[in-house]
Each structure stands twice: as structure tokens, then as C-alpha cells.
Amino acid sequence: MSDRVSQLPLLGETMPEIIAQTTIGPINLREDYKGKWIVFFSHPADFTPVCTTEFVAFARKASEFKALNCELVSLSIDQVYSHIKWIEWIKQYIGVDIEFPIVADESGEVAKSLGMIHYKKANNTVRAVFIIDPEYKLRLMLYYPQEIGRQIDEIIRALKALQIADKFEVALPENWPNNELIGDKVILPPPTNLDDARERIKNYEGYDWWFTYKNLGS
């Protein structure tokens, strides 16, 4: 098998079991966060500038994730003592507490199973993000290169959108809730038959029967 092949889970599939040592002790991702959403993300390495800016941003937004019934869990292939020293450094020099656990994936086993390690850069992980729902299903994947930091507000936006899509059985437009065409409205699922198609545009706002929308909750 080529070393470029990764056994990535597909969207909607159950995530692999992840049991690992972290900065708060051993965790079982599925069992310890049962009934919660999880943002599981990797960072290339401790004591690196871009990762430090991301961790500060995640920590400062932690209460927003908590309010969405979501837990943050990070990972790199550094050892746990490196993680501990780095979060101490962040506290000392930036004044921010990193309270979410950081997986010490020293063997790289978890990272490799999730395609977090580029086959040409085996010494650290890419900037991967996995949003996992309360059923432990993978709902979203994002991958960034090492040289570009993530936008944490976009991860929160995506998490909110997934939760709304599930609750109301709708779709969300580009840049929701600030879409150029329909603002903060949500898109209705497509009609399932001819009669529904004919009635759809009569009962809802829209450009055509296949593109109708409504206010959230209406």
C-alpha cells in the first residue's frame, strides 16, 4: 500500500475509537464525551508561533463551544511533558489558560489513522479539524497547511450550522447567517414529488421551487 494512502473516515461514519494520554490524564474520546459534540483538532507542534496563536484563540472562545454542548480536544505527536510546558508558557507570557486536553500522540498512531500526518512531513501533523456529533459520527473535516492558521469563528459557525441543520432539517447558505442572497434565512430541502414542487413556491419565499427558504423556526 502506498504511504500516501490514509484510512480516513467518511462524513457521516462513526469515528475510530481514540484512547490516549493527554494533559488531563487518559481519555476515551467516545465514552468520556458521550452525548456531546466534539471539536477534535491537531496542531503541528508545541512551541510554534502559529499554533500558539490558534491555542489562544481556541481558549478564549472555549465558553462559546461549551454553550453549544461542545468539547475541545487537541492533538500533536509531541510528548505530554512538552504539552504541559507549552501551556505553562502560554499562561505565563500571554495570560491565557489552556483548559482543554491535548493528546500526546507520541507514536503517531492516532494522527496516521486520521490522515493528520503528511507523508512527506512525518515529524509533525497538519492542522486538521474534525467535528464529531453526539452519536460519535464525523460531520465535518477541515485541513489547513502548516503555514496558515485557522479561523476559530468559522469553526464555531460550522458547528452552529450543523446543529441547526439537524434540529430543523434544513440547509444553510454560504456565509450563513450573513448570506448575500437570503441573509440569515435557511434553505428548505428539495421537494420529493411534482405536487410538492408546484406548491412549494406558493407557500415559501424563493427564486424557484428548487430554491426556497424561510426564517429559522417558521
Would you please indicate which residues are annotated as catalytic (active-site) residues?
51
Q: Give the CA diameter of the chain.
A: 65
Quote the CA–CA distance of 76 and 58 in Å, as a whole number. Answer: 15
Burial 133-151 (b: 16+ CB within 10 A, else e): beebebbbeeebebeebbe
